[in-house]
């Protein structure tokens, strides 16, 4: 058994789970009171962060462990859950790279976090160029088509 405690909570205007239109979402991540404010020291010296969060509103009976058509679109290939980024995954973990807007004490305001209001944040890591891929990133064509409206306003 692995036990994780959220390190914070994300607050934003998004109340509903949706597949698209995350481009205008601005979120405030508030550090949990069990952690000292200094855990955020110098975080604002980075431009971007990786946020690991928990899809807390996913219904347990909808978790996928095998393959499915992305977005349940039967015109797309039957793809293994680990070859897509859907929320209904076995451990309900989300990962997104966000842009830091500002830090104020125990709060970080970010753009591009695709989670709903009051989502538990499990970890935050700074984005460093040295951890980015050195070679071109490739992906199947179907993934481009389902993402065309993901970051629109």
CATH number at residue 66: 2.40.30.70
Q: What is the pLDDT of residue 41?
A: 98
Q: For residue 16, what are its two tokens?
A: 């509903």
Q: Which of 114, 115, 105 is nearest to 30 (CA)?
A: 105
pLDDT digits (tens, 9 = 90+) for 66-125: 999 999 999 999 999 999 999 999 999 999 999 999 999 999 999 999 999 999 999 999
Residues 6+ apart with CB under 8 A from 19: 71, 146, 150
User: Does 2 reside within a domain?
Assistant: no
User: Does 126 reside within a domain?
Assistant: yes
User: Does 72 reside within a domain?
Assistant: yes
Residue 53: burial class (beta carbons within 10 Å; 0-12, 13-18, 19+): buried
SS (H, E, C) 30-41: EECCCCCHHHHC
User: Whole-prediction pTM value?
Assistant: 0.95
pLDDT digits (tens, 9 = 90+) for 2-57: 999 999 999 999 998 888 989 999 999 999 999 999 999 999 999 999 999 999 99
User: Does 153 reside within a domain?
Assistant: no
Domain containing residue 74: 8-147
Any idea how long the chain is? 153
When divided into structural domains, the chain yields a total of 1
User: Does 3 reside within a domain?
Assistant: no
User: Does 18 reside within a domain?
Assistant: yes
DSSP state of 24: T
Q: Which of 19, 140, 149 is nearest to 72 (CA)?
A: 19
């Amino acid at each position: 058994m692995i036990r994780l405690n959220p390190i914070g909570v994300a607050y934003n205007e998004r109340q509903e789970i949706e597949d698209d239109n995350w481009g205008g979402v601005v979120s405030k991540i508030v550090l949990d009171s069990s952690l000292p404010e200094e855990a955020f020291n110098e975080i604002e010296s980075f431009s971007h962060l990786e946020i690991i969060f928990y899809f807390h509103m996913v219904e347990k009976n909808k978790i996928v462990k095998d393959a499915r058509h992305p977005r349940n679109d039967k015109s797309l290939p039957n793809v293994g859950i680990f070859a897509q980024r859907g929320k209904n995954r076995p451990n309900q973990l989300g990962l997104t790279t966000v842009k830091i807007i500002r830090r104020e004490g125990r709060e970080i305001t970010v753009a591009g976090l695709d989670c709903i209001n009051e989502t538990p944040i499990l970890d935050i890591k700074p984005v460093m160029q040295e951890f980015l891929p050195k070679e071109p990133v490739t992906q199947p064509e179907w993934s481009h088509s389902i993402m065309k409206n993901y970051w629109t306003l």
